[in-house]
Amino acid sequence: MKKAVILVGGKQYLVAEKETLRVDLLPTGTKELELDALLVIDGDKTAVGTPTVKGVKVSAKVITPEVKGDKIRVIRYKAKKRVHKETGHRQKYSEIEITKIA
């Protein structure tokens, strides 16, 4: 089974074919992605790129263009002052499926 390390949105992901993952929000209108592989693992063989492995491309398609993550609660608090403030944040992601590592 072939695995590859790809770079999307400044973060590195170890992926295999037919795998789905959430990445940072991609620009609107993006349907297909063609990504370079930083590292390829094929059984016992490993190819490390400088910075990318030559001749290896990872194809992916966007399943859901915008998905909201879990809500993160942020609390600011000052001791002995009766001051506190609570805010929330939901990160937006895109869901992609790796179709082919070639």
Report how far residue 31's alpha carbon sits from residue 46's, in angstroms, rounded to the nearest whole number. Answer: 30
pLDDT in tens, 50-63: 999 999 999 999 99
**Is 85's pLDDT higher than 90?**
yes
Give pLDDT tens digits for 1-44.
899 999 999 999 999 999 999 999 999 999 999 999 999 999 99
C-beta neighbour count of 87 within 10 angstroms: 9
- Counting DSSP H helices and E strands in the chain, the numbers are 0, 7
Rounded to an integer, what distance in angstroms lies between the CA atom of residue 41 and that of residue 56? Answer: 11
8 A C-beta contact, residue 101 and residue 56: yes
Cα angle value 21/27/28 (rounded, 5°)? 100
pLDDT given at position 1:
87
